[in-house]
């Protein structure tokens, strides 16, 4: 039998790679991990974690606004972007350090440098030479993408740069209508930046429930974000006073900064996947089966590089399932059904299961329960902000197949709803759960009347 330097070589020390490497190393296997940037990957370094800190920072503006209704006198306010970024970077460095320590405590060897496969068992790592491994795991994640065909696209930034702007712009145009565009629109607007979001589709957040999409766009506008739909960039032009975005309808908007958030692509460039014989999908992701196995029998891939469900916890679970299967002798595949997700828009979204449209398409008859109301905290302050809750129930079985929440703490609420939906809860069981009062979440277990479209005027 051939001998190798390591039992497992992991390319990429992000969420999925680190979890797999640690678990494999803890089983007694010899494990090496290569990372060309900083340990922690997109989530920790330039994604979920710093983004959430920015969301927190930006939400204070709204809190200050309503504080007066609660009797507070709010004095002069100012926001120090540089000081915040410094603190944020210190926190990210701390978290990245924890990842490094955890890898080392588990016994995995960390190599800083880009790794490239030269065949299925051999990797060259910049600065570390040639290394052989019995198994290889590709966990390189994804990268922001921008349309090169748009003249002047070089004047736009991606989310990567948004985390390190030397200063806050006065005006920003954000292109895209997905998670990142919507989240950053809320962040910048909250921090006082004049924010315009331009999206090619009829509404933001394709893939989410239509009521949720309409509601969020409406609430974003209430927070002062200009949402332009059905429109896309024709060109960008740098001028003495900023960047001029010209849209397909001829309309122009000048801003100090333009950010493109039009999706991410699997990061496969320069990894030597061709040399190792690893097949890609039509969209350029590493093609894997339910066990995250590629077409090459000693190479696996997890996380965004496989472009399945591009969420941190999913990458972690895929990495763990791989380690369980290969190093603990327990064949495990991660179930991609009923995975809840949150969009940290302002207000935020929590969603799990099917949208109404998907359920109608897949299941036929469905019962819909829907409510839109002013949450207590904001109603007291006289605000017009509304939250939305929606349940999608399969009519025949009365199984709750979708739960959608927009409003304060929606991401926290949806985690627990996901437990029930994953277990196959019926509407009757759901309703037998006693409410927690006074909360927003209690409205979810007191939805008795089926929704009829005429009830909700604007969003029916
Ligand atoms: P998304 O895939 O969510 O959204 C991409 C957006 O860009 C869509 O609105 C899409 O429009 C639009 N778009 C695509 N191509 C073009 C084009 N050529 N011109 C104009 N618009 C275009 O990508 P994001 O970059 O926002 O996020 C990437 C992924 O990262 C997400 O899908 C998600 O999985 C993950 N993520 C998760 C977060 C969370 O859990 N909170 C936060 C951030 C990211 P259309 O709808 O018409 O296709």
Q: What is the mean pLDDT of residues 72-92?
A: 95
What pLDDT does residue 459 have?
Answer: 47
Specify the pLDDT at position 454.
Answer: 62
Residue nearest to atom 18 of ligand 1 (CA): 147
Please give the share of the chain, as a percent, with pLDDT higher than 70.
98
* pLDDT of residue 142 exceeding 80: yes
Query: What is the whole-number distance in angstroms between the Cα of residue 204 and the centre of ligand 1?
Result: 10
Give the dihedral sign, CA 220/225/226/229: negative
* DSSP-based three-state secondary structure for 90: helix
Half-sphere exposure of 48 (CA within 13 A, CB side): 15
Question: Distance, CA 292 to ligand 1 centroid (Å)?
Answer: 23
**Helix or strand run (H / E) with residue 130:** strand 129-138
Coil vs helix vs strand at 278: coil
262, 318, 410, best to mutate for ligand 1 pocket (most atoms within 8 Å of CB): 262
Report which protein residue has its CA nearest ligand 1's atom 7: 262
- Residues in Cβ contact with 46 at an 8 Å cutoff, skipping those fewer than 6 apart: 159, 160, 163
Say if residues 430 and 445 touch (Cβ distance below 8 Å).
yes
Helix H or strand E segment including 122: strand 122-125
Phi-psi region of 28 (alpha: psi -120 to 50; beta: other; left: phi over 0): left
**Exposure on the CB side of residue 83, measured as CA atoms within 13 A:** 4
Catalytic residue among 211, 251, 404, 437: 437
DSSP state letters, 154-192: GG-B-HHHHTT-SS--SEEEEE--SHHHHHHHHHHHHTT
- Averaged pLDDT for residues 56-73: 95
d(CA 145, CA 156): 11
Report which protein residue has its CA nearest ligand 1's atom 9. Answer: 177
pLDDT at 460: 41
Q: Is the omega angle on the peptide bond into residue 347 within 30 degrees of 0, that is, cis?
A: yes
Report the 3 state secondary structure along 400-425: EEEEEEECCCHHHHHHHHHHHHHCCC
Contacts of residue 399, defined as CB under 8 A and 6 or more positions apart, other chains included, come to 393, 424, 425, 426, 427
Q: Give the architecture (CATH level 2) of 6-143+265-327.
A: 3-Layer(bba) Sandwich (3.50)
Which whole number is the average pLDDT over 48-60? 98
Confidence category of residue 51, pLDDT binned at 50, 70, 90:
very high
Quick check: 118 and 275 in contact, CB under 8 A? Answer: yes
Extents of the domains making up the chain: 6-143+265-327, 153-262, 341-459
Lining residues, ligand 1, CB within 6 Å: 147, 175-181, 183, 199-201, 206, 232, 261-264, 310-311, 341-344
Which of ligand 1's atoms lies nearest the C-alpha of 309? 34
Q: What is the mean pLDDT of the chain?
A: 96
Query: Any bridge partners for residue 257, and if so which?
Result: 172
Arithmetic mean of pLDDT, 199-213: 97
Instruction: Quote the CA–CA distance of 92 and 385 in Å, as a whole number.
Output: 33
Inform me whether the pLDDT recorded for 236 exceeds 50. Answer: yes
| Ligand 1 centroid from CA 146, angstroms | 11
Question: Is the confidence at residue 237, as pLDDT, over 90?
Answer: yes
What residue owns the CA closest to ligand 1's atom 14?
262
- What lies within 8 Å, CB to CB, of 85 at 6+ separation is 163, 164, 165
pLDDT at 58 over 80: yes
Beta carbons of 400 and 425 less than 8 angstroms apart = yes
Please check the confidence at residue 1 and state whether its pLDDT lies above 80.
Answer: no
Pair type for strands 264-266 and 142-144: antiparallel
* One fold for 153-262 and 341-459: no
Closest CA to 33 of 140, 141, 119, 143: 140
Q: What is the dihedral of CA 399, 402, 403, 404, to 10 degrees?
A: -160
Flag whether pLDDT at 2 surpasses 80: no
Nearest C-alpha neighbor of 290 from the set 316, 308, 266: 308
Determine the distance separating the centroid of ligand 1 and the alpha carbon of 288, expressed in angstroms: 22
Q: Mean pLDDT, to the nearest integer, of 358-364?
A: 97
Kindly report the backbone phi and psi dihedral angles of residue 275, in degrees, each rounded to the nearest multiple of 5, phi listed first: -60, -35
Q: Which of 161, 165, 157 is nearest to 86 (CA)?
A: 165
Nearest to 102 by CA among 11, 17, 6: 17
Band the pLDDT of 432: cuts 50, 70, 90. very high
pLDDT over threshold 60, residue 155: yes
Nearest ligand 1 atom to the CA of 201 is 47
Residue 9, burial from CB neighbour count under 10 angstroms (0-12, 13-18, 19+): buried
- Residue 93 in this model has a pLDDT that exceeds 70: yes
Q: In the predicted model, is pLDDT for residue 166 greater than 60?
A: yes
By percentage, how much of the chain surpasses pLDDT 90?
96
Gap between the Cα atoms of 56 and 346, Å rounded = 10
- The atom number, within ligand 1, closest to the CA of 341 reads 40
Centre of ligand 1 to C-alpha 213, Å, is 14
Q: pLDDT at residue 453 above 80?
A: no
pLDDT at 200 over 70: yes
**CATH label, 153-262, candidates 3.40.50.2300, 3.30.1490.20, 3.10.20.30, 3.50.50.60:** 3.50.50.60
Which pair of structure tokens corresponds to residue 79? 């926001």
Partner residues linked to 137 by β-bridges: 10, 300
Q: Is the dihedral of CA 278, 279, 283, 289 positive or negative?
A: negative
Of the candidates 252, 29, 134, 296, which has an alpha carbon nearest to the alpha carbon of residue 123? 134
φ, ψ (nearest 5 deg) of residue 27: -80, -5
Report the alpha-carbon distance of residue 174 to residue 258 in Å, rounded.
6
Any idea which architecture 341-459 has in CATH? Answer: 2-Layer Sandwich (3.30)
**Alpha carbon distance, N-terminus to C-terminus of the chain:** 66
211 is catalytic: no
């Amino acid at each position: 039998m051939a001998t190798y330097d390591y039992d497992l070589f992991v390319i990429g020390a992000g969420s999925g790679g680190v979890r797999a490497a640690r678990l494999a190393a803890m089983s007694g296997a010899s494990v090496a991990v290569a990372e060309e940037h900083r340990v922690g990957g997109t989530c920790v370094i330039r994604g979920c974690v710093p983004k959430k800190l920015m969301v927190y920072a930006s939400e204070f503006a709204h809190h200050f606004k309503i504080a007066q209704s609660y009797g507070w006198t709010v004095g002069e306010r100012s926001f120090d972007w540089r000081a915040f970024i410094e603190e944020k970077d210190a926190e990210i460095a701390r978290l990245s350090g924890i990842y490094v320590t955890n890898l080392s405590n588990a016994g995995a060897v960390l190599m800083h440098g880009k790794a490239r496969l030269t065949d299925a068992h051999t990797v060259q790592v910049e600065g570390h030479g040639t290394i052989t491994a019995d198994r290889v795991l590709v966990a390189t994640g994804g990268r922001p993408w921008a349309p090169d065909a748009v003249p002047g696209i070089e004047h736009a930034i991606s989310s990567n740069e948004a985390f390190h702007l030397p200063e806050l712009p006065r005006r920003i145009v954000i292109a895209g209508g997905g998670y990142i565009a919507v989240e950053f629109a809320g962040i910048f607007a909250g921090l006082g930046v004049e924010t315009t979001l331009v999206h090619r589709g009829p509404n933001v957040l394709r893939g989410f429930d239509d009521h949720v999409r309409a509601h969020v766009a409406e609430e974003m506008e209430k927070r002062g974000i200009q949402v332009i739909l059905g429109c896309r960039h024709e060109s960008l032009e740098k001028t003495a006073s900023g960047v001029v975005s010209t849209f397909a309808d001829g309309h122009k908007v000048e801003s100090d900064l333009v950010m493109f958030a039009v999706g991410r692509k699997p990061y496969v460039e320069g990894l030597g996947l061709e040399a190792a014989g690893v097949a890609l999908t039509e969209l350029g992701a590493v093609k894997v089966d339910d066990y995250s196995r590629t077409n090459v029998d000693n190479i696996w891939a997890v996380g965004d590089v496989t472009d399945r469900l591009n969420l941190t916890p999913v990458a972690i679970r895929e990495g763990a399932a791989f380690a369980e299967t290969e190093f603990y002798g327990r064949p495990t595949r991660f179930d991609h059904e009923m995975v809840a997700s949150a969009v940290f828009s302002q207000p935020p979204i929590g969603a799990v299961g099917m949208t109404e449209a998907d359920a109608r398409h897949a299941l036929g008859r469905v019962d819909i329960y829907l409510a839109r109301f002013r949450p207590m905290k904001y109603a007291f302050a006289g605000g017009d902000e509304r939250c939305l809750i929606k349940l999608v129930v399969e009519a025949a079985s009365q199984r709750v197949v979708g739960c959608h929440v927009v409003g304060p703490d929606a991401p926290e609420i949806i985690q627990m709803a996901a437990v029930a939906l994953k277990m196959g809860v019926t509407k009757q069981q759901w309703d037998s759960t006693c409410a927690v009062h006074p909360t927003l979440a209690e409205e979810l277990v007191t939805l008795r009347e089926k929704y009829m479209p005429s009830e909700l005027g604007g969003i029916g």
